[in-house]
Amino acid sequence: MPSALRSRLTYANVVATLALVFAMSGGALAATHYLITSTKQISPKVLKKLEGREGAAGAAGKEGAAGKTGGNGANGTSGSNGESVAVSQINPGEAACSKLGGAKFAVGGKEATVCDGKAGTNGLEGESVTASEVQAGEQACKELGGSKFQVGSHGQETFACNGKEGSPWTDKGKLPAEATETGTWSFVENTSLTPEERHALRVPISFPIPLAEPLLGTLGCPEHSECHVQAVPVLVQRGEIGAGAGELCEGKSAGTELEECEAPYKLIQQDCPSTAENPTAKPGYLCIYISRMYGVEGEKENPPWLYEEPSTESNHIGTTGLILVVKTTEEHGGEGTGTWAVTAEKSS
């Protein structure tokens, strides 16, 4: 029996026997213990109980050492030069822009065309403004009257009413520059006076609005260029100053003698280019227009009188006027009438 058993005992039989023993013991262990290889094998409720609290953050690690400075990069290459833009005109009618014309731009072998646009349409025609007079007394302008303006036939009406006439005292009580004022003058000799008393009449020429500055003049006006007071005889006003009139230059023959006689009267017409009916004066001049005069010494001379500044003995014409000194003849009384005009100097 032992020999028979010994004859059947081999290495394979021994290994098989041990494997059987271990298998049987492993099964017994499995009855009370489990081998878990994944969290999926654990119930979620149990897994939640197994989770521990989050631990505190660990201390920060030391800062690492700075890296080495990098070297300079290589220089970039230079860009190429730009190209000029050439511009040429496209005339109306050329194919590129048809009838309108325009311009062509070329750069780097490429071309671009810009054509003129068509003319825009005309705007609507505006409406004319009509103006009509507003009579004095109408409600729109009351007593003064004025004008009414309206755009088109249905536009809003606007009114421009006349203002009240202003006072002539518009320049600090002085006659404004280049403004003119006028008046009249006259004298008649009182025949009851003795010849000595009536030998020198004084005729005032008074300016209602004073001048800002006196006018330059010389007593008797010996030189026309310095005289700003001019006596304007009737024949000068009419332009009849030649020998043909038979008065101012009577007896003067044609030629130089007549021309010298007429010269001062022609200059007077330049400074006093009007008549007694409508007296005017060049700026800076006083023009005394004679309508009629007789019985005066030197009535055929110019001027037929002297003049005086009212308040001084200067050779200027005062800002308020002057006084004509008329000498009548002793044989009979003298008489004269006329008008005057004075125009203020131009502003400097």
Mean pLDDT by 10 residues, the chain (348 residues): 55 57 51 66 73 78 84 82 86 81 86 85 82 86 85 83 69 82 80 61 85 69 64 87 70 81 86 92 92 81 79 72 82 83 86
Amino acid 220: pLDDT: 47
- Between the alpha carbon of residue 262 and those of residues 223, 252, 269, the distances in Å are 15, 10, 11
Token pair in block for residue 186: 């006259």
Amino acid 289: pLDDT: 95
Report how far Cα 34 is from the mean position of its chain's Cα atoms.
Answer: 107
- Domains in the chain: boundaries: 129-161, 180-239+268-343
CB 302 within 8 A of CB 265: yes
pTM for the full predicted model: 0.49
Amino acid 339: pLDDT: 94
Nearest Cα residue to 229 out of 337, 346, 322: 322
307: Cβ contacts below 8 Å, ≥ 6 apart: 217, 219, 229, 317, 322, 323, 324, 325
- Between the alpha carbon of residue 227 and those of residues 28, 222, 307, the distances in Å are 160, 8, 12
Task: Report the alpha-carbon distance of residue 243 to residue 249 in Å, rounded.
Answer: 5
Amino acid 291: pLDDT: 92
- Between the alpha carbon of residue 92 and those of residues 115, 120, 301, 332, 340, the distances in Å are 10, 17, 80, 94, 71
Alpha-carbon torsion 291, 297, 300, 301, what sign? negative
- Between the alpha carbon of residue 252 and those of residues 222, 255, 261, 304, the distances in Å are 21, 9, 8, 20
- Between the alpha carbon of residue 88 and those of residues 111, 116, 287, the distances in Å are 11, 14, 71
Nearest Cα residue to 218 out of 294, 156, 306, 122: 306
